[in-house]
Structure 1
Amino acid sequence: MLMTMWKRLAARLRDDERGAIAVQFALLMIPIAILTFGLIDLSRTSVQKRQLQDALDAATLMAARSTATTDAALDTVGDAALATEMAGLGVPLTRANSTFALGPNNTVVGAIQNVTIKPIISNLWSSGDTHVAAGSTVMRSVNKLEVALVLDNTGSMGSTLGSGTKKIDALIDASKSLVDVLAAAAARATETDAVKISVVPFSMTVNVGSTYQNQTSWLAGKMPTTGYGADVFATNQNRFTLLSNLGLTWAGCVESRPAPYDVTDDAPNTSAPASMFVPFFAPDEPDDNTVGVNQSSTNRYRDARTVSNPGNPIMNNWLPDGVSPSGTLATAWATRSTPIAKYGASNKSKVLSQAKTGTTYGPNAGCGLTSLMRLTNVRATTQRDAVKTKLGQMIANGNTNVAMGLAWGWHTLSNNAPFADGVNPTTTDGKKTTKVIVLLTDGDNTNDTYANPNNSIYTGYGYIAQGRLKNASGTALTAGSTATNRRDAIDYREKLLCENAKAEGVVIYAIGVGVSSHSKAILQACATKLDMYYDVNDADELTSVFNTIAGSIQNLRITK
């Protein structure tokens, strides 16, 4: 009995001990819970800060890869990207919390400040929220730029389009604006040669500059018979010698190389005569009213200076022939056109005055456009202004040969002669350099027909009868070809140039200013991508278009 009572008492004491432990455990649960929730707060803050950092890194990278070149533009791109990255994370974020801006050494810097993360438990003893911040810096992949502005300076550019502004004037303003944008980018760059620009005005020929007369490594005074074919003179003559005989100077224009050199950037080489360039020289044509249109008629070929709009025109009479017409129609014209003697020093005083000072008549007829400008580093203000001065010298003069303009635009970017100014694309520096052509034209390629034995004026292809222009079939055009035949042949040379230049890595932007559907299709195909062709229907749109292209070109520089 007594033992039973003691067992019961011991059991009750054991129950009392368990109660004490329960009380102690209950008391300990309070700090344990606080500690647990505190750890959860810390973990949550850590996770959200990491998510915030990841989102900021992605947004900063997006901003760096954009075309933006100002803090405001970068901020717009970065904020939009950050909002997308943060969606669904439960972190309240506004544009006021983030900034994206240009940093030193071609970087973009993203920053987030004062982002609030509300704790679960710490607000029990504190009214303050947790504030976190993050930062990110992305180095932009930087390419150097070599940009050729290949610009139509033909007579039609002197007309208005839309608003009443002359196209050539609008072009000058727009291209200067592009230069300003790219020069500003060059000034911000760490490299001292980040952006180089060349200017290539073109008409039916290209003016390389008269200072190159003695560059015999690539300029041949005498037209080579190999590739070029027969000269317009009785025998091949050194054109510089003829000019000197007559007291005249070369204006700087050149003629097109024969196929296939006319569509490549292959270097001229004296061992390959057809690869050489020759100076432009428009021959003297027969004197007015001396050659009969046919042998049985009194109708004669007439000079437009003496007869208004002659049906059978003499286009470039600037020297007395000194011979009498003889033979058939064709030979009577040739008898007066080809003699070498009339280009002798004895005729110096007889040169037409307009041939001495202008480019409407004489050996430089058609070479009224300003000379090209080779690649120029626009980092310095003086060099930037020099490029803009060259652009300001452009005038509207002559017919259209886009192919010649493109060829010389490519030559200015090439590492091959005649200039060899461009970086070699196979070198380390070359692999970081983007070559760009900005091509603008306002019309179809032209080589018009005339009712005389030449059936053309003298152009970058000489007279059409010389057979120096080949069509898509590789057939040389003759005097019997139509204006459409000639347009199509030049179009084909243009297409080949576009294809060949793009195959060598040249990026092409194309602008059509009020062009026909025919030319538009060619320009669209020429552009590197369809959205790199711009259709302009009002001259006042040009500045906006050029600024858009300048922004896109900068993107080529800052991203890969």
Structure 2
Amino acid sequence: MTLRLSSLRRQLAPIRSVCRKAQGGLARLRGDASGNVIVIAAAALVPLLALVGSGIDMGRGYLAQTRLQQACDAGTLAARKRLGTQVAVNGAVPDAVADTGQRFFNINFRNDAYGSRNRQFAMVLEEDLSISGTATAEVPTTIMGVFGFDKLEVSASCSAQIDMANTDIMLVLDTTGSMMWTNPGDSETRIQALRRTVKSFHAQMEANKPIGTRIRYGFVPYATNVNVGHLLRPEWLVDSWAYQSRRARAAGTTEERETTEGRYTYVSGSFTDSPQTIQTTCPTDTVIHVIEAEWKDGDGWTNQRILERGIDYTCTQVDTNRFQVTARTFNDHRFIWAFRVTGTETVAVADWRYARTTVNLDFLRTSNSTTMNIGGTPSSPQPVTVTYRGCIEERDTYEISDYNNVDLNRALDLDIDRVPNPNDPATQWRPMLHELSFIREIRTNGMGMFTPGVVTSQYEFVNAWWWGFSVCPSPARKLAEMDAASVANYVDNLIVNGSTYHDIGMIWGGRLLSPTGLFAAENADSGRSPTNRHLIYLTDGETAPLDVSYASYGIEPLDRRRWRLTSSRTLTQTVESRFSFACEEVKKRNIQVWVISFGSGANPIMEECAGRDRYFVADSAAELEQTFSDIARRMGDLRIIN
């Protein structure tokens, strides 16, 4: 019997007829009161038995029906959760889906529950990717069997779906040079795997989005810095800024200089050159030069007998953490160096003055580029096109010693919600002009030292941009609804280059997603519906800053805004400490942070940021895709829709 109240009433009609006949007989007996107590009691037993029996069996039936409905719901929920969101992309239904649903149904409604028999449960995948189920069972009667009703048929129907609420998703993506590597066992590079996976993730999210729901996507590619300038209002940028650059000394200036000649005479000992090697650090020189004697000849020559002992290293940087090293070993090498003045000559001054150079940025009102005479030679400086590509130097900050007590009135870079004051340059960002970034006094042969003060020299010092130590990633994108073509076009054109600065990615991911900061008006909840906010942070490597880079805090050893060579923390530790602090600031905005380490193993600071249940390690392209599918599924609300 189907356990619905209307059906029960129809099936119990014969019992009610018996009761009415019994009531008629009792009415006739009321006319003759002598000796009829036993008759009345016997006649009453039949309807009483029917009423009590139907109540008992109906109660069992209702309990079985309720439990069956719960089991049906549990089965479809479990199956829909196991199905996930990836089916929207590849159409593949995992074999375990049906088994998972059946097991959850069986656990919640066992075959003999309430004495039931012939338990059945079936599921169907609908076109909208919901899973529908039907369940039936038979519950034998007890007392009602006397009246011809030997079983009750109970049934239930159910359906489960993953729905997406209004959702904002900011994807902070590591686009450093190592994303061009291929993980062991993969046939595609990391960046290729990332591009494909992000497209799949977008498809899954959109396929599970109910009508009327808003899902927006934003992107922050990061490496040595971030490219966000095109998202900033003009009044959020400074009017002028001092860059670590150079200028030729006054044109036309001359000076008298002595002319000399010299000669070398071998005395004793030797020196040998070792083959070039590749090392992770540049060794420290051990060579000593001692002038043992000095005398003058009658013809004006000054003679010096010099002793050399030890090893002299010449280092040329190959990439981020490797040097090409040549060693010359001096074995008590003695020689005489003689020199004398031969006269004087008038020469034009041909020096570069390397120092912080203030640049008026008015040209940015009409153009992204200008020219400056920083190329060529000191005697013939040549114009170089200086271009603003959208990367920025951070606003004011300080060297933090205690990250449990950060003063956000000083560390303005870590105050992710602070809106710049157009009248206060400390709160504003500074356009990066990469071509201006000269690193004094690091020479092009890799030798030299960092000198914060002014240096006047004929030498060519390293320009961070020309030597690949200052890159500008692909432009970031604010939150917006995006179709599949827009997402594909964006991720397929991501630039891959640069070093790994994790903090700047987290800072700007939080700024572009926060509902209470720079873009509060755009990031507010839509209508009366609350918005779920998620930041997905993907990296393929350890923190790897370079002291020679021109990045978001300038050239670190020269600008010394947050770190200097004498700091108690290394530059890497400084970046990681700021990353961790920025992550906590992001989570304070009720933003769920998910972190993925792709092809690089576990990273404790990343796990601490996201928490164990939202931190993933993906060693291959397949694991990366599965990770994004898991995140998509967990972003949705699994619910019963019937």
1:375 pairs with 2:479: yes
Which residue, 590, 593, 598 being the options, matches 1:505? Answer: 590
| Count of aligned pairs | 459
Structure 1 residues 249-288: aligned runs within 5 Å: 249-259=387-397, 260-266=411-417, 267-284=419-436
Q: For residue 5 of structure 1, what is the aligned residue in structure 2? A: none
Shift of 1:411: 1.8
* Separation in 2, partners of 1:166, 1:139: 35
Change (3 A) 1:361 1:301: closer
Which residue, 244, 260, 267 being the options, matches 2:370? Answer: 244
**SS of corresponding position for 1:252:** strand
Shift of 1:253: 1.6
Structure 1 residues 319-358: aligned runs within 5 Å: 331-332=455-456
1:311 pairs with 2:446: yes
Which residue, 466, 484, 488 being the options, matches 1:361? Answer: 466
**SS of corresponding position for 1:196:** strand
Q: For residue 225 of structure 2, what is the aligned residue in structure 1? A: 205
Change (3 A) 1:77 1:220: farther
Shift of 1:99: 5.2
CA contact (8 A) 1:61 1:138 kept: no
1:191 pairs with 2:291: no
Amino acid at match of 2:222: F
**SS of corresponding position for 1:251:** strand
**SS of corresponding position for 1:253:** strand
1:526 pairs with 2:609: yes
Q: For residue 633 of structure 2, what is the aligned residue in structure 1? A: 551
**SS of corresponding position for 1:198:** strand
Aligned identity (percent) is 20
1:436 pairs with 2:436: no
Shift of 1:367: 3.4
CA contact (8 A) 1:75 1:100 kept: no
CA contact (8 A) 2:172 2:535 kept: yes
**SS of corresponding position for 1:405:** helix
Change (3 A) 1:461 1:545: same
Which residue, 62, 77, 96 being the options, matches 2:120? Answer: 96
* Separation in 2, partners of 1:204, 1:94: 66
Shift of 1:172: 1.2
1:169 pairs with 2:192: yes
Change (3 A) 1:94 1:239: farther
Which residue, 221, 228, 237 being the options, matches 1:219? Answer: 237
Change (3 A) 1:502 1:61: farther
Structure 1 residues 72-221: aligned runs within 5 Å: 80-87=103-110, 89-92=113-116, 96-97=120-121, 112-123=134-145, 126=148, 129-134=151-156, 143-164=165-186, 165-186=188-209, 189-193=210-214, 195-208=215-228, 211-212=230-231, 215-221=233-239
Change (3 A) 1:154 1:421: farther
**SS of corresponding position for 1:443:** coil
**SS of corresponding position for 1:190:** coil
Shift of 1:81: 4.8
Q: For residue 350 of structure 1, what is the aligned residue in structure 2? A: none
CA contact (8 A) 2:240 2:358 kept: no
Q: For residue 44 of structure 1, what is the aligned residue in structure 2? A: 57
* Separation in 1, partners of 2:564, 2:477: 34
* Separation in 1, partners of 2:533, 2:559: 33
Shift of 1:232: 6.3
1:446 pairs with 2:550: no
Amino acid at match of 1:396: V
Change (3 A) 1:286 1:524: closer
Amino acid at match of 1:464: E
Give per-residue Cα distances to partners, 1:51-79, cap 9 Å, x unaligned: 52256258638966985667989977765
Shift of 1:394: 1.8
Amino acid at match of 2:422: T
1:465 pairs with 2:570: no
**SS of corresponding position for 1:132:** strand
* Separation in 1, partners of 2:609, 2:558: 28
CA contact (8 A) 2:197 2:625 kept: yes
Change (3 A) 1:92 1:536: same
* Separation in 2, partners of 1:414, 1:334: 49
* Separation in 1, partners of 2:582, 2:452: 41
Change (3 A) 1:129 1:44: closer
Gaps of 5+ in 2: 1-34, 88-92, 244-353, 372-383, 398-410
Change (3 A) 1:499 1:22: closer
* Separation in 2, partners of 1:375, 1:95: 50
Q: For residue 496 of structure 1, what is the aligned residue in structure 2? A: 581
Please state which structure has a larger fraction of its residues in strand. Answer: 2
CA contact (8 A) 1:239 1:279 kept: no
Change (3 A) 1:99 1:369: same
* Separation in 2, partners of 1:440, 1:513: 7
**SS of corresponding position for 1:233:** strand
Change (3 A) 1:25 1:82: same
Give per-residue Cα distances to partners, 1:190-230, cap 9 Å, x unaligned: 3241x111111110111126x458x31323352499xxxxx
Amino acid at match of 2:116: P
Shift of 1:94: 7.1
Q: For residue 386 of structure 1, what is the aligned residue in structure 2? A: 486
**SS of corresponding position for 2:456:** helix
* Separation in 2, partners of 1:94, 1:463: 77
CA contact (8 A) 2:387 2:433 kept: no
CA contact (8 A) 1:409 1:437 kept: yes
Q: For residue 408 of structure 2, what is the aligned residue in structure 1? A: none
TM-score, normalised via structure 2 length = 0.60
* Separation in 2, partners of 1:543, 1:143: 22
Shift of 1:498: 0.7
Please state which structure has a larger fraction of its residues in helix. Answer: 1
Change (3 A) 1:503 1:216: same
Which residue, 212, 227, 233 being the options, matches 2:356? Answer: 233
Change (3 A) 1:468 1:177: farther
CA contact (8 A) 1:412 1:421 kept: no
Q: For residue 13 of structure 2, what is the aligned residue in structure 1? A: none
Change (3 A) 1:142 1:74: farther
